């Protein structure tokens, strides 16, 4: 169970990194990140998205 949760978090972070990279030089807003993440994981919450974004900034 823990391995699937970790794989989900890592997969979401990887996809978010790709979206931010493709959006350059323009900033990727929360709505864009939400749409992409939600299409990959339909049960994703806003809190999960925020945690993933915060972990990328660290």
Q: Which residues contact 33 (CB under 8 A, 6 or more apart)?
A: 16, 19, 20, 49, 53
Tokens of 10: 């890592």
Dump pLDDT digits (tens) for 8-42: 999 999 999 999 999 999 988 999 999 999 999 99
What is the rounded CA–CA span in Å between residue 3 and residue 48?
A: 17
Q: Give yes or no for residue 3 having a pLDDT over 80.
A: yes
Q: Give yes or no for residue 58 having a pLDDT over 80.
A: no
pLDDT of residue 9: 92
């Amino acid at each position: 169970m823990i391995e699937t949760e970790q794989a989900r978090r890592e997969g979401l972070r990887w996809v978010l990194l790709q979206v931010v990279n493709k959006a350059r030089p323009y900033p990727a807003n929360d709505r864009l990140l939400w749409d992409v993440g939600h299409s990959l994981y339909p049960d994703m919450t806003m809190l999960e998205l925020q945690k993933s974004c915060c972990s990328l900034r660290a």
